[in-house]
Structure 1
């Protein structure tokens, strides 16, 4: 039995996949679930966006690599489902043992967050990353008990929302007086201020709904 699990973050630049190109073209930020690869090499994609969602939908609808695009809206988010014929970079890392949790696309750059079990598997994942154009390691750290709860989504918030809430708390955003501004927390997360505030509101709404019924 392996006792150690590691959280790993990768960034991907220069990818010409439909989602990366669409965010580069429209300025939208996409939060995606890990793609599911079918036997016919089509990938099932599920993702959401806030601002620029209409432009994003138009860009993806015009992309010949995208099939069966479905768009639905809930509150301030727009949800997308589709098939993509373009190979996903994350599959290269998954084949080596990377367990993707969240994927984000922003201005053509991708950020993958997930886990690997043990240092031996980590070395294999890093070797696969080194052979894949544009993939670089951003962070790696041991998975703690509090992270296990995040992966299990004990409170039913998304990993991205939980990271936003946790970072805001650690930086003193909720303190009186505030220890950090929304812009400062957004910079720490590497996202826009509007994206941070949206994650914060949605995460708080989910938590409050569960706490107060």
Structure 2
């Protein structure tokens, strides 16, 4: 029985957490490339946030070695980051069971997405069975603050909106509560952006991405295909 889990590991020693804390208005999605020895290469997709502030955060972070901007589109940038520390060096001060940490790398699991937050990582992962998930969750419960948000069998549907980032959920909720979607509209895009302390253009893109995600998860799946 394969399982899909969504969870958060609250641990400020995790890689790039310092960067996320420095640029809280940005969304950081991390991919790990484990074919680079004991220091896996990081591929980081950053949405929103000032280009210069993000660049300064990478340059100032204690756990970042070299970094390169490899592409951008709108408010989304893609970076290649070489960590300055191995996972053992990074987490050794907080986690005593480093052998257990290394064992997780060979667990029967695939971490599909990592969102770096100012206080840890929010992740979605696939686990071969309940035993593999229990081993993974037990390690982090003993060594950090582990919070489980969702645990379903492979193939079970997930609630609409689970694909949204925290920033997208916050933007939709704030815009809704302020009356941005009311008819007539009670709050402008600029007013909602001010409440969120981001630019109007960043809010517009964040709302568009969130709305697109919700459409793809809900009504789009019920439409017949368009004619050729």
TM-score range, shorter chain: 0.5 to 0.7
**TM-score of the two chains, using structure 1 as the length reference:** 0.64
Q: 1:53 to 1:91 in 2, by over 3 A?
A: farther
Query: Cα distance 1:75–1:196, how it changes in 2: closer, same or farther (>3 A)?
Result: closer
Counterpart in the other structure of 1:115: 126
Question: In the aligned structure 1, how far is the partner of 2:114 from the partner of 2:175?
Answer: 20
> Are residues 1:182 and 2:172 paired?
yes
Deviation string, structure 1 residues 161-190 (Cα, Å, up to 9, x no partner) = 98239xx9xxxxxxxxxxxx9327999xxx
Is contact 1:45-1:82 (8 Å) kept?
yes
- Which ranges in structure 2 are unaligned for 5 or more consecutive residues? 92-100, 178-195, 197-201
**Structure with max Cα Rg:** 2
Q: Distance in 2 between matches of 1:145 and 1:8?
A: 12
1:113 is displaced (CA, Å) by 0.4
- Residue matched to 2:45: 48
SS of residue matched to 1:164: coil
Pair 1:136-2:152 in alignment: no
Corresponding residue of 1:61: 59
Q: 1:211 & 1:73 partners in 2: Cα distance?
A: 31
State the number of aligned residues: 175
Is the aligned partner of 1:70 residue 2:68? yes
Closer/same/farther in 2, CA of residues 47 and 198 from structure 1, 3 Å limit: farther
In 2: Cα distance, 1:56 partner to 1:67 partner: 15
Give the direction of change, closer, same or farther, for the CA distance of 1:202–1:138 in structure 2 (3 Å limit).
closer
